[in-house]
Amino acid sequence: MGGLHVERKKLMAKFVEIASEKMGKDLETVDEENTFEELGFDSIDVIDLVMFFEDEFALRIEDEEISKIRKVKDLIDIVIKKLEEIDDEVSEG
């Protein structure tokens, strides 16, 4: 469980980095409970953000999962789930 907490912190930092550097968003204060709407992201921004995470971590987030993303937490949860699935496949393989 401790490792997962560190992972969340790393993903949160990566989110802020991507949003700031690649998308030009100025996020002085952001936490997982913020909605993307509150942060000034539209649906295209969210898709772009998902694509950056997919490229960064070599994973695939399905369209139906993207449609459920409303808060920063939702995106972080999906990325963690995908990373765990990849880790499980590697462990089993």
Structure confidence by residue, pLDDT tens digits, 13-54: 888 888 888 777 777 778 899 999 998 899 999 999 999 999
> In CATH, what number is assigned to the domain containing residue 10?
1.10.1200.10
| Per-residue pLDDT tens digits for 48-92 | 999 999 999 999 999 999 999 999 999 999 999 999 888 777 788
Number of folded domains that form the chain: 1
- Positions annotated as catalytic residues are 42
- For residues 25 and 41, is the Cβ–Cβ distance under 8 A? yes
- For 14, the domain range is 1-90
- Helices (H), ranges, the chain: 2-17, 43-57, 63-66, 72-92
